[in-house]
Structure 1
Amino acid sequence: MYSKLQFLISPLQKFFYFIHSGIHTVIPIENISFGLAIIVFTIIIRILLLPLSIKQTKSTAKMGAIQPEMKKVQEKYKKDPQKSQQEVMKLYKENGVNPMGGCLPMLVQMPILFALFAVFNTLNMKGAGFLWMPDLTLPDPYYILPILSTVTTYFSSKLMQPPGGGAQSKQTSTMNTGMAIFMGFMSLKFKGALVLYWVINNVLQVIQTLVINKMELGNTGVVKKQI
């Protein structure tokens, strides 16, 4: 798989080493510059992907805003699935909601995310640590990063989940919990550099989602259907 993404991996690796070189020039201590380079690199990547992330977050916020109206439509036409679908699509159109709006940006980002995974999993910086970690090219011996990975994965996924109840919401919540536990378990084996990137990325995602949701809360006007 990585061979197919080499066109992305190589430039990203060079970009990371460029950032590290600049930081190392100012702070010539490997156990500080390496970790700082990961943080700065993660922030820059988040900024570059910001338009797609904003689009995805806004789409999720809009879907959440029209949930009450959707429930009313589905309840009214529960004996007529075809009519219910038509009215739901009309509700989408009236409120400018694209049902695939939250998925498409993620699909575009997936190759970049896989490439970043490869970049941080193959960094040649053996012996360089950061904070409590003696070597970022090895798993965290104190399990702090895996714990942070679990917690931040859960909250970043939870915030991206459209509000609402019902079986679908419970299923999504269960999937979020499962994903968080899975990432925490995998982080026990992943290199510290990769997990540090993942944790910082999740924290930035949480901040971004909270800010956008707050802005959308005041800007999203839901067109209510006459039920």
Structure 2
Amino acid sequence: MSYLNNALVQFFVYVHKLVANLINDPNYSYGLAIIFVTLIIKVILLPLNIKSIRSSIRMTRIQPEAKKLQDKYKNDPQRAQQEMMKLYKEKGVSPFGGCLPLLIQWPILLALYYVFNNITGINGVTFLWIKDLAKPDIVLAVLAGATQYYAGLIMNPSGGKDNPQGKQAAAMNLYMSLFMIVISWKLKAALVLYWVVSNLIQMGQTILTKKLEEKHMAENNA
């Protein structure tokens, strides 16, 4: 973790210097640097995101088959679970595939917590409505939870109505969203700004990838 922490500190400082060369006002340069760093991280994670989104689409498409298995083995939960796992393996999907990008981002989030705790330049810096990037912001905390929830909802729009694994994924999305509001209430605004921007980018990536994947499937079916 220490290597990742130090690497991200140097990376953020480098990005901020590039931005500061164009925009001298720190009230804009630091906020924009956070946004650019977030964008770069999301681009790096894009292949993983695309794989997870495709898994989510396939999961939605096999819901009718999954429902048939649940009905067939409703009196034998263990057998139903085994048959569901076989179906997932056959179709190449994971019931929690949509949650993978979130899990991967946690080490990055923890590393950025270290970054913003060790960069004193953000102290007293304002950005948009944020009065101080080094202090908590209530509006950002709410936005962190809201964008977290909708990013998960877009990834898994079915809400898990047809299978226990989907219900668990939907519940996890809700709990994680509420958890983000609670912890963001006391985190530095700089870190929460990263998370909000990351969620917004995730929404865009999910919507675009789903459209392309569905078009691709439709062409193959035709």
Task: Tell me which interval the TM-score lies in, with the shorter structure as reference length.
Answer: 0.7 to 0.9
**2:184 aligned residue:** 187
Q: Which moved more, 1:37-46 or 1:170-179?
A: 170-179
Q: Which moved more, 1:68-77 or 1:20-29?
A: 68-77
1:120-162: CA deviation from partner (whole Å, max 9, x where unpaired): 343322122211223201112xx22112112111111222336
Contact 2:144 2:181 survives alignment (8 Å): yes
The amino acid of 1:211's aligned partner reads L
State yes or no: 1:160 paired with 2:155: yes
Aligned to 2:126, the other structure's residue is in SS state: coil
Structure with the larger helix share: 2
Instruction: Identify if the C-alpha distance between structure 1 residues 106 and 187 changes in structure 2 by more than 3 Å, giving closer, same or farther.
Output: closer
Contact 1:123 1:137 survives alignment (8 Å): no
- Alpha-carbon shift at residue 44 of structure 1 (Å): 0.4
State yes or no: 1:22 paired with 2:18: yes
The amino acid of 1:53's aligned partner reads N
Query: RMSD between aligned alpha carbons?
Result: 2.6
- Alpha-carbon shift at residue 81 of structure 1 (Å): 5.0
Alignment of 1:106-125 (within 5 A): 108-125=104-121
- Alpha-carbon shift at residue 177 of structure 1 (Å): 2.5
**1:130 aligned residue:** 127
Q: Which moved more, 1:121-130 or 1:199-208?
A: 121-130
Q: Which moved more, 1:171-180 or 1:104-113?
A: 104-113
Q: Which moved more, 1:126-135 or 1:191-200?
A: 126-135
TM-score, length basis structure 1: 0.82
Q: Which of the residues 21, 40, 43 maps onto 1:44?
A: 40
Alignment of 1:31-70 (within 5 A): 31-70=27-66
Aligned to 1:131, the other structure's residue is in SS state: coil
Structure 2: unaligned runs, 5 residues or longer? none
Aligned residues: 215
Aligned to 2:120, the other structure's residue is in SS state: coil
C-alpha separation in 1, matches of 2:149 and 2:82: 34
1:161-190: CA deviation from partner (whole Å, max 9, x where unpaired): 362415734554343233222211222211
1:22-69: CA deviation from partner (whole Å, max 9, x where unpaired): 110111101010000000110001001111121122212211221111
- Alpha-carbon shift at residue 9 of structure 1 (Å): 0.8
Aligned to 1:78, the other structure's residue is in SS state: coil
TM-score, length basis structure 2: 0.83
C-alpha separation in 1, matches of 2:173 and 2:8: 29
Q: Which moved more, 1:169-178 or 1:22-31?
A: 169-178
- Alpha-carbon shift at residue 212 of structure 1 (Å): 1.7
**1:225 aligned residue:** none
